[in-house]
Copies of this chain bind each other. A is one copy, B any other.
């Protein structure tokens, strides 16, 4: 069992029935006479997703004291928004594999991925409208706009090895952290505890930043490769993520030429990934990136201080520690 699955198994008993309800609802909402829709959507949603974002909504709702069942549908809604972005991302990045399986665009073509992504985003809005809270609708429609803004920003900066940290943070803040934040803030909105909204938003946002920074670092982890995990996806797509930005700053003239060719000019040869990893090891870049992520872990931890101890708070803190302690 991977450490991801292990952590989720530990906290699962906390909301077992609710997570099952989320899965059932996903299944029910994807039924469609246009059979290509459930085929494509289920391929992505049911192939190894960790349900991290729905779990955040379930835990935050309980932490904030909400009693009821609206969190189920809104957790599905958050997962649909996430899945829509995955489908479109894979087309944009021309990815063939995700979580070790063939991507939807690889199996059914770009057309199906684009249109089923559009369908899922629309379905997410239908769910929110069905829920009927204008506060949640505002939060999630803002989130959806911010995500796509972040994706366009990333598109215009992705091969820029000289990206500064504020630009990198702006991108991951929009494309990842915003949805984590919204997933958490929904809990406070459901519980009608306005004073919990900012702390839960901030918790999710900082958790999202830490998670994405660690994710970007793990993509260059030789140890993960030895464990049989697929790495190097960002490098092959010449994306200037944090490890490249940090490595660029320390690189000597010859190493800089390497980054210019492989990332800025997208001209890669056999053996380049190994060279990239060896430069990163030389300058201990992964450690630097993880240390950087840990700053956001501490910020996130601070946001939960207003809540008294509870199994839900413990579970959120476990997820937080997990975000930067995945095997790497």
Task: Enumerate chain A interface residues (CB-CB to B < 8 A).
Answer: 32, 34-37, 84-85, 88, 91-92, 110-112, 114-119, 121-123, 125-126, 128-129, 132, 134, 137-138, 141-142, 144-145, 147-149, 151-153, 155-156
Contact = CB atoms under 8 A, between A and B. Distances in A.
A246 to B, nearest CB: 24
A110 B155 CA distance: 11
B153 A34 contact: yes
Contacts of A129: 134, 137-138, 141
Identical subunits present:
2
Given A112-B155, A116-B148, A137-B137, 20 more contacts: A34-B149, A34-B152, A34-B153, A34-B156, A36-B156, A37-B152, A88-B115, A91-B114, A110-B110, A112-B152, A118-B148, A118-B151, A119-B152, A121-B144, A122-B144, A123-B145, A125-B125, A126-B142, A129-B138, A129-B141
18 contacts: A34-B153, A36-B156, A88-B114, A91-B110, A110-B110, A114-B114, A115-B148, A119-B152, A121-B121, A122-B144, A122-B145, A122-B147, A125-B125, A126-B142, A126-B145, A128-B141, A129-B138, A132-B134
A155 B88 contact: no
Nearest to A108: B155
Contacts of A138: 126, 129
B148 A126 contact: no
A146 to B, nearest CB: 8
Query: Which applies to chain A's interface (DSSP): helix, strand, loop or mixed?
Result: helix
Contacts of A34: 149, 152-153, 156
| Most B CB within 10 A of own CB, among A88, A115, A132 | A115
B125 A141 contact: yes
Contacts of A92: 110-111, 114-115
Contacts of A121: 118, 121-122, 144
A116 B36 contact: no
Nearest to A121: B121
Q: Which residue of A129, A138, A144, A155 has the most chain B CB atoms within 10 A of its CB atom?
A: A129
A76 to B, nearest CB: 14
A177 to B, nearest CB: 17
Contacts of A35: 156
Contacts of A147: 118, 122
A270 to B, nearest CB: 26
A36 B155 contact: yes
